[in-house]
Amino acid sequence: MKKLINQVDDVVNEMLDGMTAAYPQYVKRLEGLEVLVRAGGSDGKVALISGGGSGHEPAHGGFVGKGMLDAAVAGAVFTSPTPDQVYEAIKAANGGKGVLLVIKNYTGDVMNFEMAADMARDEGIEVEQVVIGDDVAVENSTWTTGRRGIAGTIFIHKLAGACAEAGGGLDDVKRIAEKVIENVRSMGMAVDACTVPAAGKPSFDLTEDEIEIGIGIHGEPGTHREKISTVDEISDKLLGKILDEGIYNSGDEIAVMVNGMGGTPLMELLVANNHISKVLADKGLKVYKTIVGNYMTSLDMEGYSITLLKLDDELKKYLDAPADTPAFVQQ
């Protein structure tokens, strides 16, 4: 295994300290905890909190800042943060208007975030939560009951975060998050697996001419393995499964995310988007906004995911709202 690290056990701690050293204008770390909060605090607004295992950078700490998250909780690599860590994040981020937890649908995350919410409610903090399962690849897995939460989570951070920034109440912010969940779908693939530092070897093996279709974001294998083909053909398969959901119809306006899994060059993501944009146009779907890059990664996995979000005027307003975070800036 080749990794640019020091000691395996120190990776998350040093990563968080490195982020606060790089972006002190955006984030600060709660002492002794794997929690990043806004450097300027969150008084007077609904607080949005997300998180999960590390290894998905820039998610989730990279989205702490104006217009998006108020706190991010980092567990060990691909491991849910503990209820105590989430609880401390809730207390630190609470600005008196309530807290919304954004939870990806993985069993450990759901259980631990819910326990933390109950602990905070016992102290009189108003806490609501949403669970996202945007991955169309699988219905159930070793890690989930129901669909997995993957890159579509970023759209919740952005749109629900914009609602909170604009002064929306807790019910309003939760409603926007739920509206995104209803209208967002994703699917991904891998050319090569990732290597978890503690494991020291790839999470699954592919031969030179194989790819994995339907991967998650924790190094888990997908729905099936097949021979590598052109990126246009691969994108057709991913898009086909997403469009089979039946929620995207000719004339709809959509937002598109082509998300790198961590080890894929931007050149290749843009080549994928070139074809994706043409297919969507042929289907009569109007692309309102596209974002391409690494947003919800899986360490050094080589591959990408496609996410579509159906928009209405309300969602477009929040999608267009300003944001200023280490990993996402929009004027």
Beta-bridge partners for 49: 71, 101
**Listing from the earlier edge strand, what are the strands of the sheet with 127-132?**
27-29, 35-38, 71-77, 47-54, 99-104, 127-132
Do 250 and 112 have their domain in common?
no
| Segments forming the whole domain that contains residue 325 | 185-330
| C-alpha neighbours within 13 Å on the C-beta side of residue 34 | 25
Q: What is the mean pLDDT of the chain?
A: 96
DSSP 81-100: PPHHHHHHHHHHH--SS-EE
Predicted local confidence at residue 228, as pLDDT: 97
In CATH, what number is assigned to the domain containing residue 155?
A: 3.40.50.10440
pLDDT at 160: 98
Residues 31 and 147 in one domain: yes
Statement to judge: residues 26 and 71 lie in one domain: yes
Are the C-beta atoms of residues 55 and 297 closer than 8 Å to each other? yes
239-276: per-residue pLDDT in tens?
999 999 999 999 999 999 999 999 999 999 999 999 99
Q: Is 70 exceeded by the pLDDT of residue 138? A: yes
Is residue 110 over pLDDT 80? Answer: yes
**pLDDT for position 139:** 79
Q: Is residue 269 part of a domain?
A: yes
Among 133, 150, 182, identify where a domain stops. 182
- Condensed to tens digits (0 to 9), the pLDDT of residues 313-328 reads 999 999 999 999 999 9
Could you give the CA distance from residue 74 to residue 25 in angstroms, rounded to a whole number?
Answer: 20
- Answer whether residue 141 shows pLDDT above 90: no
Domain boundary pick from 132, 163, 182: 182
Indicate whether 65 and 211 sit together in one domain. no
* CATH number of the CATH domain containing 253: 3.30.1180.20
Domain stops at, among 182, 215, 240: 182
Say what the pLDDT of residue 187 is.
Answer: 98
> pLDDT by residue (tens digit) across 33-62?
999 999 999 999 999 999 999 999 999 999
In this predicted structure, the answer to whether residue 4 has a pLDDT above a threshold of 70 is: yes
pLDDT at residue 184 above 90? yes
In a domain, 157, yes or no: yes
- Please state whether beta strands 127-132 and 99-104 pair in parallel, antiparallel, or not at all (unpaired): parallel
Residues 61 and 140 in one domain: yes
SS (H, E, C) 125-173: CCEEEEEECCECCCCCECCECCCCCCCCHHHHHHHHHHHHHCCCCHHHH
Q: Are 228 and 211 in contact (CB under 8 A)?
A: yes
Residue 280 lies in a domain: yes
Known catalytic membership, residue 224: no
The DSSP bridge pattern shows strands 302-311 and 323-324 to be: unpaired
Q: Answer whether residue 143 shows pLDDT above 80.
A: no
Is residue 7 one of the residues assigned to a domain? Answer: no
pLDDT at 221: 81
Peptide bond into 60 cis (omega under 30): yes
Tell me, what's the pLDDT at 173?
Answer: 98
* In contact, 149 and 132? CB cutoff 8 Å: yes
Q: What percent of the chain has pLDDT above 70?
A: 98
Q: Using CA atoms, how far apart are residues 66 and 180, in angstroms rounded to an integer?
A: 19
Tell me, yes or no, whether 247 lies in a domain. yes
Q: Which one has a higher pLDDT value, 54 or 141?
A: 54
Going by pLDDT thresholds of 50, 70 and 90, the confidence category of residue 93 is very high
pLDDT tier, 220 (very low <50, low <70, confident <90, very high otherwise): confident
pLDDT at 78 over 90: yes
Q: Are 153 and 38 in a shared domain? A: yes
Cα Rg of the chain (Å, integer): 19
